[in-house]
């Protein structure tokens, strides 16, 4: 192909170079309209969320966290905990041994193997920082935890029977005198 031929073919709706033909077709109308619509949408979106009344990312995050907190409070409202069931478990020696195994695995790292305290408070004396030491109060503390003090809520991890078993075991430790027990903390309850 001569140089004159190349120059001639570049002047119209098609281009040819080294035997390759390129046509200058218009894009389909639907494609162009979709492209322009996305540009318009992005301008409206940025205006609404950056300068208008749209919620910011922080607002959306706070709304989601509030919803989760409401769900957590609904679950931990004490529903499902029965003092009658708990007292029956406290009287059952087999349930206490089940509770000891759970306590040794999940609780002893903070409260000590004998419940005398460590990172967490002493569980064998009459003093309680949270709750009043009654079995239903202890079960509620185990279920809900004390996040401000570093105790995680075990209600989502332990089943109801495991929760009662651990509570029965903690109740059975009261009055024992473990070695190196932590000093009393909190309010005294009989």
The arithmetic mean of pLDDT across residues 142-161, rounded, is 87
Whole-angstrom Cα distance, residue 5 to residue 11? 11
**What domains are there in the chain, each with its CATH number?**
3-51 (no CATH), 83-188 (1.10.760.10)
CB atoms within 10 A of CB 103: 22
pLDDT tier, 10 (very low <50, low <70, confident <90, very high otherwise): very low
Alpha helices in 76-134 (DSSP H): 83-90, 93-102, 108-111
Tell whether pTM > 0.95: no
Tell me the per-residue pLDDT of 112-130, one tens digit each, with 9 for 90 and over. Answer: 888 888 888 888 888 888 8
What separation in angstroms does the CA of 64 have from each of 55, 75, 112, 156?
12, 17, 37, 19
Dihedral angle sign, alpha carbons of residues 86, 103, 177, 147:
negative
Residue 22 CB partners (closer than 8 Å, separation 6+):
14, 15, 16
Q: What are phi and psi of 16, to 5 degrees?
A: -135, 135
CB atoms within 10 A of CB 165: 25
Q: Is the pLDDT of residue 3 over 80?
A: no
Query: How confident is the model at residue 130, as a pLDDT?
Result: 85
Percent of the residues in the chain that have a pLDDT greater than 90, as a whole number: 18
Whole-angstrom Cα distance, residue 167 to residue 123? 11
> Quick one: DSSP state of residue 146?
B
């Amino acid at each position: 192909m001569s140089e004159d031929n190349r120059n001639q073919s570049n002047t119209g709706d098609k281009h040819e170079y080294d035997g390759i033909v390129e046509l200058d077709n218009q894009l389909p109308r639907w494609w162009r309209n979709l492209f322009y619509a996305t540009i318009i949408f992005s301008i409206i979106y940025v205006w609404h969320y950056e300068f208008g009344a749209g919620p910011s990312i922080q607002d959306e995050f706070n709304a989601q966290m509030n919803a989760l907190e409401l769900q957590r409070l609904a679950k931990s409202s004490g529903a499902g905990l029965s003092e009658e069931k708990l007292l029956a478990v406290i009287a059952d020696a087999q349930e206490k041994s089940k509770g000891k195994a759970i306590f040794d695995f999940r609780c002893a790292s903070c409260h000590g193997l004998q419940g005398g305290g460590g990172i967490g408070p002493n569980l064998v004396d009459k003093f309680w920082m949270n709750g009043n030491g009654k079995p239903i109060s202890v079960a509620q503390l185990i279920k809900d935890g004390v996040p401000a003090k570093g105790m995680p809520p075990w209600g989502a991890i332990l089943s109801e029977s495991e929760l009662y078993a651990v509570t029965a075991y903690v109740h059975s430790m009261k009055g024992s005198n473990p070695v190196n027990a932590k000093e009393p903390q909190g309010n005294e309850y009989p």
